[in-house]
Amino acid sequence: MIMKILKDIKNLIAGMGITGKHLGRHAITIQYPEQKWEMPERSRGIVVLLSDKESGELNCTGCLLCMKACPSAAIFVDAPRDPETKKRNLISFTVDNGLCCFCGLCEEACNFSAIKLATMYEFSEPEREGFIWDMKKLQEVGIDVDYIDTRKKKPVKKVVNPAAAPNPTVDKPATEKPTAEKSPEEVKPAAPPVEPDKPKEDGA
Ligand code: SF4
Ligand code: SF4
């Protein structure tokens, strides 16, 4: 009995010693959910759709590359091609977060800075259906997500004031072709015509 009490006291002192050792140290846990981890920029959290910072419109062109790249079949894009313009019309974009394995292949496949694995990691749901996010929700969650826009934007056309003097660097005469587009005949002088070989008189 006495031995058992002594053993308990020894264990108690050992436990107090470990607690005392960590008292002055920096805490390695946080008070979740009041406190949250700030995830590194390149961490793979939830998949979101990105929007143009100026217009607020989705960057997605409906090219389907992300859907084809996804190994989990978590992405479904409905974007039929217009028979006249041959361009795709984005009708719906769905991501099933219950299937997503956060591999990042969709982000790698996209050429239009339109999809990204954001740093957000909280999306638990009580029902399975809650993990399926439609285009509206994907855009809403991704609207403030920072990204590097790698799209090649077309330059905005300047409205030319007719009263202003023509700018030779911009307004070139329609008849003048740039040097690079001129054909070799226009650049080089024409070669003299080649006379046909005369038949030899000795018949050799
Ligand atoms: S992160 Fe991977 S699994 Fe998830 S949607 Fe993108 S390609 Fe599919
Ligand atoms: S997110 Fe990117 S890869 Fe996927 S359909 Fe849109 S433009 Fe294409």
Q: How far apart are CA 146 and CA 116, in angstroms?
A: 10
Query: How far apart, in Å, do the first and last CA atoms of the chain sit?
Result: 135
Q: Residue 100's closest CA among 73, 78, 124?
A: 73
Is 47-142 a CATH 3.30.70.3270 domain?
Answer: yes
* pLDDT > 90 fraction of the chain, expressed in percent and rounded: 57
> Ligand 1 mean position to 24 CA, how many Å?
43
Most confidently predicted of 12-16, 148-152, 186-190, 197-201: 12-16
Query: Is the Cβ–Cβ distance between 102 and 111 less than 8 Å?
Result: no
Residue 108 scores a pLDDT above 90: yes
Residue 118 scores a pLDDT above 90: yes
Higher pLDDT, 41 or 188: 41
77 lines ligand 1 (CB under 6 A): no
105 lines ligand 1 (CB under 6 A): yes
DSSP conformational letter for 48 = E
> What pTM value is reported for the model?
0.66
Per-residue pLDDT tens for 150-178?
887 666 565 556 555 555 554 444 444 44
Residue 192 scores a pLDDT above 50: yes
Whether a cis peptide bond, with omega within 30° of 0, leads into 155 is no
All residues at 6 or more sequence positions from 128 whose CB lies less than 8 Å from its CB, including other chains: 98
What residue ranges do the domains of the chain occupy?
Answer: 47-142
Structure tokens at 88: 């795709």
> Ligand 1 mean position to 115 CA, how many Å?
10
